[in-house]
Structure 1
């Protein structure tokens, strides 16, 4: 755990924000997200909205953000499609043909980088790029497979195996769909989205961030992506990750800061210090007693969670759920 004696909106020049589960869920705004982001902007922090979703264009993402109360322009949006297009433009000559197994977001990103999107293997593309599209057809996947088998470079916009469903049941994501071409050809794709470094690199280039803070709700994409990019991170609990999952995370999935929601950008984050074999944060102390962590004290439950996290993360090996559940129940989180 890190500490900050200033609000994070003042300590970091750019917040690299995940979208679904952080700013909105589906098309519904996360409570207080718009207000918190407006205050962060007023404090001088720049905001960038970073998404693994390759199906939407930056214009579409900006429009959705605006409808949930967060004014945004296309220039504020960084997508995995843009990261994929940059990687391809750095490896291929200008004007090269790229077979697109995906939607308009990918096509626009390729055009912007001087590449030529195509749809059939008969055009002998130099590369195949695949991104999520809910209307993806078998025929287009088959064309991509044919081109990869013929030697085309294979790039995937992101490797998320699932995406949230409107009914709460996960749906297959691009990572699952990538396995079709991978299985058919034996060729593994280069993945550019979170948690891989290309999307983080794209975000830094587009924002010019000198001290970025990654803000997200997923350990395996947002927090691991920050870890891979060497950036600090803030985990919020408005999306898929709950406190138990955070406490039992391995090293690459451990955030720098914890907060209930985006209001965590607006406040200082107190120090967790070692205290007589335990870990103390404001009014709470967490210490190991045999194979369990015991939490004592009172005050803000998130200060208790910080102390508990420091104890749970004392070793590289993830703590077992049984070691932290009792202490976590005491916080009411």
Structure 2
């Protein structure tokens, strides 16, 4: 079967019973609302779709995240938020007995999650921790990373809340938890396990808690959100309101490809046409087309580029790549959907 996007004859909100929604770049951007996010999520909820907000951020408490969403007109309870801190604590419990000592290098959210999992939080490698839980916090210093390195070098199990190298801020991208974890790895040579996306651990935890049968992952980053969806076997909707662009989707490797593509969260409320092969290498979606010829991406010229052209371009590029003729990135323009 040729590689292409999936299709849905009914709106995605009606086809699924749980949406696993990323935060930054999907529900909001920094401290600012994303156009159509609140209205779309409210409408999807009113139609019966349950929401769980899944974030790689391990520094904040679930209630803090819920309060921010509520302040952006997305009413949210703390139990509708799943953080990488909670997933990290759940991963720790797969190997550690209750009361085991964990050196927490991170923010309040991670300390709380580890404690609530029945583990003992310690602050020094001299406390002989069984594990190190490392998550992002703005106030982390050299001394914190040094304690983590001493403990890991001494045999403690190193678990990272996530391995995101960058962190979006109002001023641009700053070093993320993965960059800080990298300092400990450089000092010890030990690679950590990770609970955050693109590991599907958080998605599985959320699905199990909700008892969902038809979950949908929604994200803006192919390398974390959609990569985690692929790894866990969950369908994923890539919205173009955050980090990964339409061009990134066209060039996506198989393990990072979304099942659905939308401009923004209004895509939850819409059917999704499936691109289809149309002969002579062309793929079409709702009358708009794209093909790969001799490694070059060609788009039809029947009107402005829109989401259906992007969908057709994804199908054409993925099919060509899977047949051993990858598209030349230089031929893929920045696509505005």
Please, what TM-score do these two structures have when normalized by structure 2?
Answer: 0.93
In 1, Cα distance between equivalents of 2:161 and 2:274? 38
Match of 1:133 in 2: 137
Two-structure CA RMSD over aligned residues (Å): 1.6
Match of 1:303 in 2: 308
Shift of residue 165, structure 1, vs aligned partner: 2.7
Match of 1:226 in 2: 229
Q: Matches of residues 63-82 of structure 1 in structure 2 within 5 Å? A: 63-82=67-86
Pick the aligned partner of 1:323 from 324, 328, 331: 331
Match of 2:206 in 1: 203
In 2, Cα distance between equivalents of 1:293 and 1:32? 31
Shift of residue 178, structure 1, vs aligned partner: 0.4
In 1, Cα distance between equivalents of 2:305 and 2:9? 17
Q: CA contact under 8 A between 2:297 and 2:327: conserved in structure 1?
A: no
Shift of residue 299, structure 1, vs aligned partner: 8.3
In 2, Cα distance between equivalents of 1:192 and 1:121? 22
1:149 partnered with 2:153: yes
In 1, Cα distance between equivalents of 2:309 and 2:40? 23
Match of 1:124 in 2: 128
Match of 2:16 in 1: 12
Shift of residue 259, structure 1, vs aligned partner: 0.5
In 1, Cα distance between equivalents of 2:192 and 2:139? 21
- 1:47 aligned counterpart, secondary structure: strand
How many residue pairs were aligned? 328
In 1, Cα distance between equivalents of 2:44 and 2:260? 16
In 1, Cα distance between equivalents of 2:200 and 2:8? 26
Could you report, residue by residue, the CA deviation over 1:116-173 in whole angstroms, capped at 9, with x for unpaired residues?
A: 11101121111011000000122222222111111111100000011113212x1111
| Gaps in structure 1 of 5+ consecutive residues | none
Greater CA drift, 296-305 or 135-144: 296-305
Sort the Cα spacing of 1:300 and 1:282 in 2 relative to 1 into closer, same or farther, 3 A: farther
| Gaps in structure 2 of 5+ consecutive residues | none
In 2, Cα distance between equivalents of 1:300 and 1:6? 24
